[in-house]
Amino acid sequence: MSAGAWRSTRNAAVLIVGLLIAWQLLYAIAGQAALAPPLATLRYTAALLATEGFRGHLSESMRAFGAALTIAVASGLLIGFWLGFHKLAGEVCEPILVALYSIPKITLYPILLLAFGLGMSAKVAFGALHGIIPVALFTINAVRNVKPILIKTGRVHGLRPTEMVRIVLFPAALPEIFTGLRVGFSLTLIGTLGEMFAAQRGLGYLLMTAIGLHNVELIMAVTLILFMFAAAVSSVLLAVDRRLHANA
Amino acid sequence: MTRIGLYRALMIAAAVLLLEGLCLSGMIDRLTMPPPHRILLDLATILVSGSQNAAILKTLTNASIALALALVLGVVGAVALHGHLSAREILEPLFATYYAVPIFAFYPLLIVLMGLGDAPQIGIGFMLGVVAVIVNTLNGLDRVPRVLRKTARIQRLGMVEIALTVTLPCAAPYVLTGVKFAVAYSLIGVIGAEFIMSRGGMGYEISFAYTNFDNATMYPLILLILAVSIAINAALSRWEKVLLGRRGQ
């Protein structure tokens, strides 16, 4: 194992042990009514993962997340490339995107529910709404920062717009775009879990029912599952992100 | 107004007009969304009658407290962390995944710990905002030129003095980026928590109006929140530009 890999493994171990200790300590302070201890939660989570009912909620959320992420990435990239490449359109629209990025989107959830109805499409829309803008904003900047000489060379070769994107812009802007995808992933996940506020199925719904019933073990287990999933995928994306930036 | 600004204003006006047209023609039915001019009139009625003033005040106060806590503790935390490379390396993955975790899942925990008053909502707003402040402040501190730190040391300044008079002012534009995120996050945290479970506030009123199909209350309140957050954000962005401009960037 190389020194760097050893170091990051050790760091991860320290972080996980530290979090577990903090968790156990918090349990000691707050007691049974507020949260379950780590070991009991792990056991409960393992049992939960095996139940039929849970798998239904999980697959519902995963399908919503998958669809939302696909929409967010595809439209984010499309908007980003277009606005990044056309100077005027970019200058006109970017501040609008930045303003939209900063609004508390959670307030829009009731509107989406009215527009899409209670169900899958509202979740997908809410998730995608969170993801599109960061992907677009990062892509705009990535495309703008591509060295002009690369674009000029592309023009000299008479590339068509699609070829320009595929052969020149995308590879050159990839590291920055990937950072956008990483942020987009996180936000889309949060957005999809907007199902916490109103839904009939899914992990967010399960979490809300658990909150309503004050089922502490279930709350902790679902939170743990979401945390592990987010942490695992983010770590992988972060590692790829670092490698891309190091090569650039 | 510049040409770009004019195009932008025209674009936004066109979007609002389109919405207005869709609503008036019945393509978007009235139960889904009232036309934009109606929302504005309803908002004026609500503000003039003062029927929602208590809720508005409660939410904005709680969000401000959450923001202030996130700012103070975030900046102090970042300054403390900046000197300790190993501690930072360990926490980095946590920061990177933090915003992918649904912080609202901790809301019931906070309710049990703090009771169903304002405290758990402030807690959620704080938890959402603080990491953005830490991450952006660290980013700014990383960019402080080494010569400034050396000069400070030559002047025999203490740790706190260095932070207050040298490094933080130098990192100000980046800290400000963190502040912008924290403004949005503290509002999201407080309003989201009010949606889930609370006894008042704009989030509570919006969800109450939603369950009662009371669009005349719901839409104006949503519009108000959006307008407040966009206004704060625009003001901070302008300030950020001024700060960066002074440095010739």
CATH code, domain carrying B137: 1.10.3720.10
Name chain B contacts of A7, Cβ cutoff 8 Å: 89
Q: Which of B229, B181, B190 is nearest to B71 (CA)?
A: B181
Per-residue pLDDT of chain A (248 residues; tens, 9 = 90+): 577 778 778 888 888 898 899 888 888 887 777 778 888 889 999 998 888 888 888 888 899 999 999 999 999 999 998 998 888 888 888 888 888 887 888 888 888 888 888 778 888 999 999 999 999 999 998 888 888 898 899 989 988 888 888 888 888 888 889 989 988 998 898 888 777 776 778 888 888 888 778 888 888 888 888 888 888 888 888 888 888 888 76
> A58 vs A207, B75, B200, B240, CA distance in Å?
12, 38, 32, 43
Residue B6 lies in a domain: no
Residue B191 lies in a domain: yes
Indicate the average pLDDT of chain A: 86
Residue B18 lies in a domain: no
Pair A168, A146: CB distance under 8 Å: yes
Question: Across the interface, which of B90, B100, B237 has its CB nearest the CB of A190?
Answer: B100
The count of domains in chain B is 1
Q: What percent of chain B has pLDDT over 90?
A: 26
Residue B16 lies in a domain: no
Report the residue of chain B nearest A110, measured CA to CA. Answer: B210
Model confidence pLDDT, tens digit, residues B157-192: 888 888 888 888 888 888 888 898 899 889 989 998
Host H or E run for residue A173: helix A170-192
Residue A31 burial (CB count, 10 A): 11
Q: Give the residue numbers spanning the domain of B103.
A: 35-246
Residue B11 lies in a domain: no
Name the token pair of B89. 């390396």
Pair B78, B70: CB distance under 8 Å: no
Residue B164 lies in a domain: yes
- What's the pTM? 0.83
Question: Across the interface, which of A35, A110, A230 has its CB nearest the CB of B97?
Answer: A230
For B96-153, give the DSSP string: HHHTTS-GGGGHHHHHHHH-SSSHHHHHHHHHHHHHHHHHHHHHHHHTS-HHHHHHHH
Residue B142 lies in a domain: yes
Residue B105 lies in a domain: yes
B100/A186 touch (CB, cutoff 8 Å), yes or no: yes
Name chain A contacts of B100, Cβ cutoff 8 Å: 185-186, 189-190, 230-231, 233-234
> B201 vs A140, A154, B210, B221, CA distance in Å?
37, 56, 14, 11
A110/B210 touch (CB, cutoff 8 Å), yes or no: yes
* Highest mean pLDDT: which range of A161-165, B62-66, B145-149: B62-66
Name the token pair of B15. 């979007």
